[in-house]
């Protein structure tokens, strides 16, 4: 996948100048427009739409595991931990995430949403990568069927790159970046509320009866 991504970007800059790439929002369509005319531009736009829908499907199905896991730990609405009896998927969590995504899409502020997602996502990517160092130190006994390639150099380089990207984003679009940070921090009161509520529950009261394991 990385090779395809690099080859695609090489093709963009092989056909278009850096100024052209910066001036056009649909870079792939503009490249194909110059190579094969309107037919090529339409074909690559259709392929991009299919790719976007596939990525959206994967994001919803994988992202729904987050509120599901939080609910299983007693840190979210208990209904989000319910598993579909036939498909063994977190059906309620998927519906919640789909509804929230629809609200954001209908807000119409796509550029700002994109900035929020990119900025916030890279904070999470950095935290996930940093957890490799933390777990290696605190839980050396855990089974590790997959070990990080090039540890510790590769994850350290990733952390440096993520930090530089976040600093650059804060510098170039400070308003959207600050709003993204605020949006993330707004989750803290809810987290402490649910944690306090969980601590007040009886032991085992956060386990839903009849739950089944998820499909891997």
Distance CA(143)–CA(155), nearest Å, equals 19
Q: What is the pLDDT of residue 6?
A: 87
Q: What is the pLDDT of residue 207?
A: 44
Q: What is the pLDDT of residue 210?
A: 43
Q: What is the pLDDT of residue 116?
A: 73
- Is residue 85 within 8 A of residue 204, CB to CB? The reply is no
Q: What is the pLDDT of residue 214?
A: 60
- Is residue 83 within 8 A of residue 72, CB to CB? The reply is no
What's the pTM value of the predicted model, to 2 decimals? 0.68
Q: What is the pLDDT of residue 108?
A: 63
Low-confidence residues in the chain, pLDDT < 70:
1, 108-109, 200-216
Q: What angle do CA 165, 168, 169 make, to 5 degrees?
A: 85
Q: What is the pLDDT of residue 212?
A: 53
Distance CA(45)–CA(49), nearest Å, equals 6
Q: What is the pLDDT of residue 38?
A: 87
**C-alpha torsion angle, residues 56, 23, 170, 131 (rounded to 10):** 40
Q: What is the pLDDT of residue 200?
A: 65
How big is the chain by its Cα radius of gyration, in Å?
21
């Amino acid at each position: 996948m990385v090779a395809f991504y690099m080859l695609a970007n090489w093709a963009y800059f092989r056909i278009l100048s850096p100024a052209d790439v910066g001036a056009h929002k649909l870079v792939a369509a503009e490249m194909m427009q110059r190579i094969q005319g309107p037919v090529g531009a339409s074909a690559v736009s259709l392929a991009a739409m299919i790719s976007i829908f596939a990525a959206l499907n994967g994001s919803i199905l994988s992202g729904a595991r987050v509120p599901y896991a939080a609910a299983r730990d007693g840190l979210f609405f208990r209904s989000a931990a319910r598993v579909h009896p036939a498909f063994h998927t977190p059906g309620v969590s998927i519906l919640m995430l789909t509804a929230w995504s629809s609200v954001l899409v209908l807000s119409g502020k796509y550029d700002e949403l994109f900035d929020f997602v990119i900025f916030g996502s890279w904070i999470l990517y950095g935290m996930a990568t940093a957890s490799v160092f933390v777990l290696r130190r605190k839980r050396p006994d855990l089974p590790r069927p997959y070990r990080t390639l090039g540890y510790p150099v590769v994850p350290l380089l990733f952390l440096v790159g993520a930090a530089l990207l976040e600093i650059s984003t804060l510098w170039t679009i400070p308003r959207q970046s600050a709003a993204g940070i605020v949006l993330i921090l707004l989750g803290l009161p809810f987290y402490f509320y649910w944690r306090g509520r969980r601590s007040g529950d009886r032991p085992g009261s956060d386990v839903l009866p009849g739950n089944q394991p998820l499909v891997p």
